[in-house]
Amino acid sequence: MMEMVEAAEARAQRAGTKVEFHITTNGTLISDAIANFMDRHRFTVFFSIDGDQERHDQCRPYTDGRGSFADVAANLERLRARPNVHLIGSSVIRDDLPVHEAVALLRSLGTHQCKVERAHGGIDFTRLVDASLQTKV
């Protein structure tokens, strides 16, 4: 990926234009080197998380059974420390996680923007919205 990004930037520069980079990740493999690369190349990073630590770890365990939330949170801290990385958090609603709680979690993780998606059918969305928001939705 790094070679493709650098090649695309060189080609865009020759053409007198700019190029933008966007990537979607579960956040488990963000090293300092990757975070620095994303910062240098001004990446927009979409990361997905499935609610609080308990919910996320149940939905996204590693193959050895350990939960991944703590690693995701630590890796997001790496990205937040890079001023040229734009973070967009995506929360997957499962088990009636209220929308306002999903958005609050994403904001607490330092996202610049948030989006929330429904994972399963049969959810009563009138129960998921904070009462103060119901008249605005």
pLDDT tens digits along 44-67: 999 888 888 888 898 889 999 999
Which tokens sit at 132? 């103060």
Ordered strands of the 113-118 beta sheet: 21-25, 43-49, 86-93, 113-118
Largest CA distance in the chain: 53
* Per-residue tokens: 9: 């930037």
Whole-structure pTM value: 0.76
CA angle 104, 106, 112 (to 5 degrees): 110
- Between the CA of residue 131 and those of 58, 90, 135, what are the distances in Å? 28, 22, 8
- Which tens digits make up the pLDDT trace of 107-136? 888 888 887 776 655 545 444 444 554 444
